[in-house]
Chain A
Amino acid sequence: MSPTPFPDLSLSVDGLCVTRGTRTVLRDLGFAFIGGQAVSLTGPNGVGKSTLLLTLAGLLSAEDGAITLQIGGQPVELAEQCFLYGHRLGLKPLLTVGENLQFWRDFAGNGRSATVEQALDAVALTVLQDHSASILSQGQQKRLSFARALVAPRPIWLLDEPLASLDGDSQERITHLIDDHRGRGGLALVATHQPLPLAGGVDLILKRGGHS
């Protein structure tokens, strides 16, 4: 995996308001993070964790508020710098495990991309490389989906409950990858019910309206 660190990164959000349908989910939300941080995004169900991640990724548009991303001192378009991981995994059952990753590598990879073999090794799926993705268990599919982050590297990881439904070993592995990522200067926002077992993690707790 490429050891080159991500350049200086700072993400700030101010006065963010996002509505879904006619419901205002996020009101006047503000925060600021820098590269090298792993943020645990917690809060009760329906408070807007997924909504926040989707908005940062550019899939939802905000009614109001400013989102600024600076990399190396230059303002940069946020959506292009995000890797989004969520409930829907983005895998094709008709392709093999390796082919799935190879596609994402070809489609969205860049100079920092790990090879398919390296990525599979990091999530311990090497043995299944030539197997059809349709026979994977839920946990294995989640790991494969997560491996996309390695072949399509982006400075900001937006992860929606990456540890749910995983066994202890896999949880450790994923946590380790997140740690690696922030070690390289990347930023990770992780929506989670259980706080991340990471030293020096930051918390962002969403309550209905505003944050804490």
Chain B
Amino acid sequence: MARPLTSLIKRDVRLAVRQGGSVVQSVLFFLMIGMIVPFGVGADADKLADIAPGIIMVAALLALLLTLDRLFQADFEDGSIDGLITLGPLLELTVLAKGVAHWLGTGLPLVLAAPVMALLLNLPLDAYPVMVLTIILATIGLSFIGMIGAALTVGIRRGGLLLSLLVIPLYVPIIIFGSAAIAVAGTGSPDLPASLGLLALIALGSLVLSPFAAAAALRLNAA
């Protein structure tokens, strides 16, 4: 039962690695936001440290958003989706596996790049552990909620724009709780467990519920 799903995850990760370019590009895009922001707001170290949590979250959101329209597109273009739907296990599970693979290919690299970002933006060192945890949870939520938009807009020309419109309002809670967590990290504030807890709840909820909506959307776009 797990074999079909793990084989799909392996395949997608292998494709992402062989693709190579797009993973690197999305990490670079993420870091480039960290590079360009100071040019916009000034080099004041304290000010940067203040806005760092928010910028990191928004940069992660944007970097991940840009990869979403490819999530199902490739399978649609070459016809693999027909096999995934008809030959595979329950479509909801298949979609879950696609989401996991997407996170491994996109979210995980961002987690690894986040400390570099934090360095550029002068985030205090003792906030790093919380930041990494936050990015992990946030990117899970971003991947899985984004998956719904990707499934709804697959095959639409310039679908990326509609995808962003659909999905960004849904991302608001992740940005709110994520930035809050990073911002109060290391201060012992009770907002920390609260925001992390809520973020984890969103990540878990999206993991469990998104496959239903995404599978439904894929079925109607399949033929």
A residues with CB within 8 A of B:
54, 57-60, 79-80, 82-84, 86-95, 99, 103-104, 106-108, 148, 152, 154
B105 nearest CB across to chain A (Å): 13
The answer to whether B7 touches A89, judged by C-beta atoms less than 8 angstroms apart, is no
Report the Cα distance A104→B7, complex, angstroms: 9
Residues of the A chain whose Cβ atoms lie less than 8 Å from the Cβ of B15: 92, 94-95
Closest to B220 in A: A61
B interface: dominant SS = helix
Report the Cα distance A57→B14, complex, angstroms: 28
The answer to whether A86 touches B223, judged by C-beta atoms less than 8 angstroms apart, is no
The answer to whether B79 touches A79, judged by C-beta atoms less than 8 angstroms apart, is no
Interface size on B, residues (CB 8 A): 22
The proximity string for B residues 210-223 relative to A, scoring 1 for CB distances below 8 Å and 0 otherwise, is 00000000000011
Report the Cα distance A58→B82, complex, angstroms: 10
B residues with CB within 8 A of A:
3-4, 7-8, 11, 14-15, 18-19, 77-80, 82-88, 222-223
Closest to B4 in A: A107
The answer to whether B86 touches A82, judged by C-beta atoms less than 8 angstroms apart, is yes
The answer to whether B19 touches A148, judged by C-beta atoms less than 8 angstroms apart, is no
Residues of the B chain whose Cβ atoms lie less than 8 Å from the Cβ of A90: 78-80, 82-83
B144 nearest CB across to chain A (Å): 21
Report the Cα distance A59→B223, complex, angstroms: 6
Report the Cα distance A162→B87, complex, angstroms: 18
B27 nearest CB across to chain A (Å): 20
A33 nearest CB across to chain B (Å): 19
Residues of the B chain whose Cβ atoms lie less than 8 Å from the Cβ of A84: 82-83, 86
Q: List 29 A-B contacts (CB under 8 A).
A: A54-B223, A58-B86, A59-B223, A79-B86, A83-B86, A84-B83, A84-B86, A86-B79, A88-B79, A88-B82, A89-B79, A90-B78, A90-B79, A90-B82, A91-B80, A92-B11, A92-B15, A94-B18, A95-B15, A95-B18, A99-B14, A104-B87, A106-B7, A107-B8, A107-B11, A108-B4, A108-B83, A108-B88, A148-B83
Q: Top 8 nearest A-B pairs by Cβ distance?
A: A88-B79, A106-B7, A108-B87, A59-B223, A90-B80, A90-B79, A94-B18, A107-B4
